[in-house]
Amino acid sequence: MTEPRELVVISGKGGTGKTSVVAAFAALAGGAVLADCDVDAADLYLVLDPDVGPPHDFSGRQQAIIDPAACTACGRCAEVCRFAAVLGGGADGYTVDPIACEGCGLCLRVCPRDAVGMGPVINGAWMLSETRFGPLVHARLGVAEDNSGKLVTLVRKEARETALRRGLPLVIVDGSPGIGCPVIASLAGADLVLAVTEPTVSGRHDLERVLQVVRQFRLPFAVIVNKADLNAPLAATIAAETTAQGALFVTTIDYDPSVTRAQVEGVDVITYGGRAAAATTEAWEAVREAFGRELVSVPATEERVES
Amino acid sequence: MRIAIASGKGGTGKTTLAVNLATLLADEGVKVRLLDADVEEPDCHLFLHPSAVTSTPVSVPLPVVDEARCTACRVCAEACAFKAITLVGSTVLVFPELCHSCGACSLLCPESAIREEGRDTGSVETGTVSTPSGHFTLVTGLLNVGEAKAVPVTKATLATAGGADVVLIDAPPGTSCPVIESVRGSDLVVLVTEPTPFGLNDLRLAVEMVRALGLPAVVAVNRMGIGDDRVQRYCAEESLDVVLELPNDRRIAEAYARGELLVDALPDLRAELRAAWKRIAVAAESAEVTA
């Protein structure tokens, strides 16, 4: 079995159309494993109507728990905690704020009465579901939870193992907006990073920042400008800048209300049809061709980030 | 009064609302401070062009080991919950990207061989924005590219909240740690969404988040008419006040694309934004009274 290849779709700015593009690619690929790594706002399942698999608990960290019977309220734990996670004091003793606690365990180590223990926090769940286009690994992060990066890593690993098990050649990852931990966790080891942007001043600015991260990882990347007719001159500028950086400029997709209508109907744009379907099909052909040939690695500007 | 503007889904119009409200209020003589807390991708400055910008670095403590004192006892490596400090043979290695700056290693080292030094992971940029008949302060949190942890920069940005009558916070999208840091301590959270299935799904998550934090919230719906009415029905069921409905108007999208403020490009919208602000202020005040 050959190693499955992995296409990671990101954007920098949110709301540019990543998920709609990924759902369309799923329809066109015919047999890819899908991984929804936007664990804060996992929307891919809404247009793929999956048969949802059983949830598996995800525990990304430990959390301190203070035993009120053993606590003498000496306050040493609160003194050393850098996350302001130890609350209370006085007669009521101390408790741990589960949202603020990062699980470092320093309170446990300094407590003179061994009144602090650590316990795993269940901060999410992941599922392996079946869609009409192939398996979907998706997750939900508990609200107000940390560790989205670890959950992203887990979703990618499960997607890859599913591809190996079923002999499927491709994993398509729907990534998060931004440049922080969930994005970094979705990038390492990707075969191709596809950024979906829009021709707005913020779309361009955010793309530039996220592509710097991609370059630090020395990963090949490609760019789609979605809703291109909102500002055609800026779309052309972004296309030129992409090419100047040695990346693949895939195509532009014009704004098309059928993208939202498809979403309202709970289907992907290919199944729904419309102008965007044709443009997205063209984009998919270009991305598939890029996978087929030897991709030129992008020169890195700085040292690779380990994370 | 401190108002956070947040959303589950990205690209719904948080920044649009934040920059236009700040401009409108400053123009009417209100002492406003806008904090761009979307430190991964801060965009307010693209619409506001602040001047006289000063930059303050944000640094986090990172352990530095004095090899002369280290006896390779492994206490630090065993204490680190994040595997950010480890021993290879008798040499201690520190992985900055994994470190949470909890201070366990330096505090617990029996030889006092570990001290901490600041490592820059971002900056806070403060500048002045001029409006036709006023001005206000824009504070931008900026995470360095390649850094995974946004929260220290978010915290440093939020720490500048004082000294204004109205503090507006442009939060990042989502519901996880950087968002929580941005909205905590606000009098009210304005959740911006769009009337689509993705918008509704992510609004539900955002509402769960603000409720978990015990914060009052209202909703602003952008691109009215683009999808269906399920967001409105949900807001009615959940007794969430809808303080603003912006139409799905191509002129709005095009003005945004060019980096223009709606209050300049489409002055007709001023009245609607002013009315929305009144509803936001009333909701924030009544929340304060209840609390």
Token pair in block for residue B263? 């209050």
| Residues in A 264-303 with any Cβ partner in B closer than 8 A | 264, 266, 302
Q: Could you tell me if residue A60 is left (phi over 0), alpha (psi between -120 and 50 degrees) or otherwise beta?
A: alpha
> For position B290, what pLDDT does the model report?
67
CA neighbours within 13 Å on the CB side: how many for B130? 3
Q: Does B102 touch chain A (CB under 8 A)?
A: yes
Residue A224's Cα: distance from chain center in Å? 18
> For position A93, what pLDDT does the model report?
84
Average pLDDT, chain A: 91
d(CA A93, CA B201): 40
d(CA A226, CA A211): 17
- Asked if the model's pLDDT at residue A296 lies above 50, the reply is no
- Asked if the model's pLDDT at residue B137 lies above 50, the reply is yes
pLDDT band at A71 (very low <50, low <70, confident <90, very high): very high
- Asked if the model's pLDDT at residue A304 lies above 80, the reply is no
As beta bridge partners, residue B266 has: none
> For tokens 């508990």, what's the residue?
A142
d(CA B248, CA B220): 13
Instruction: Tell me A265's DSSP state.
Output: H
> For position A145, what pLDDT does the model report?
75
Average pLDDT, chain B: 96
d(CA B138, CA B134): 13
Tens digit of pLDDT for each residue in B197-208?
999 999 999 999
> For position A294, what pLDDT does the model report?
42
- Asked if the model's pLDDT at residue A173 lies above 60, the reply is yes
Strand B85-88 versus strand A170-174 pairing type: unpaired
Closest residue of B to A199, CA-based?
B257
Nearest to A192 by CA among A172, A176, A213, A212: A172
Q: What are phi and psi of A250, to 5 degrees?
A: -80, -65
pLDDT band at A293 (very low <50, low <70, confident <90, very high): low
Mutation for testing the B interface, residue in A260, A303, A305 having most B CBs under 10 Å: A260
B80 CA to chain A: closest CA distance, Å?
7
> For position A298, what pLDDT does the model report?
40
Yes or no, beta carbons of A216 and B146 under 8 Å apart: yes
> For position B10, what pLDDT does the model report?
94
The DSSP element (H or E) to which B211 belongs, if any, is helix B197-212
Tens digit of pLDDT for each residue in B192-247?
999 999 999 999 999 999 999 999 999 999 999 999 999 999 999 999 999 999 99
Tens digit of pLDDT for each residue in A262-292?
999 999 999 999 899 999 999 999 999 888 7
Yes or no, beta carbons of B259 and A201 under 8 Å apart: yes
CB A1 within 8 A of CB A169: no
Provide mean pLDDT across the span B26-32: 96
Tens digit of pLDDT for each residue in B45-82?
999 999 999 999 999 999 999 999 999 999 999 999 99
Provide mean pLDDT across the span A209-218: 94
- Asked if the model's pLDDT at residue B40 lies above 90, the reply is yes
pTM of the model: 0.93
Closest residue of A to B200, CA-based?
A43
A70 CA to chain B: closest CA distance, Å?
22
ipTM above 0.95, yes or no: no
Q: Give the helix, strand, coil percentages of chain B, each rounded to 5.
A: 35, 30, 35
Q: Residues near A181 by Cβ (< 8 Å), separated by ≥ 6?
A: A148, A149, A307, B148, B149, B150
> DSSP E strands: which ranges in B157-224?
166-173, 188-193, 217-224
Contacts of A102 in chain B (CB under 8 A): 100, 102
- Asked if the model's pLDDT at residue A305 lies above 70, the reply is no
Provide mean pLDDT across the span B131-156: 96
- Asked if the model's pLDDT at residue A297 lies above 60, the reply is no
- Asked if the model's pLDDT at residue A188 lies above 60, the reply is yes
- Asked if the model's pLDDT at residue A22 lies above 90, the reply is yes
d(CA B264, CA B99): 45
Closest residue of B to A45, CA-based?
B198
Provide mean pLDDT across the span B84-97: 93
> For position B162, what pLDDT does the model report?
84
Q: Does A213 touch chain B (CB under 8 A)?
A: yes
Tens digit of pLDDT for each residue in A88-135?
877 778 999 988 899 999 999 999 999 999 998 888 899 999 999 999
A271 CA to chain B: closest CA distance, Å?
17
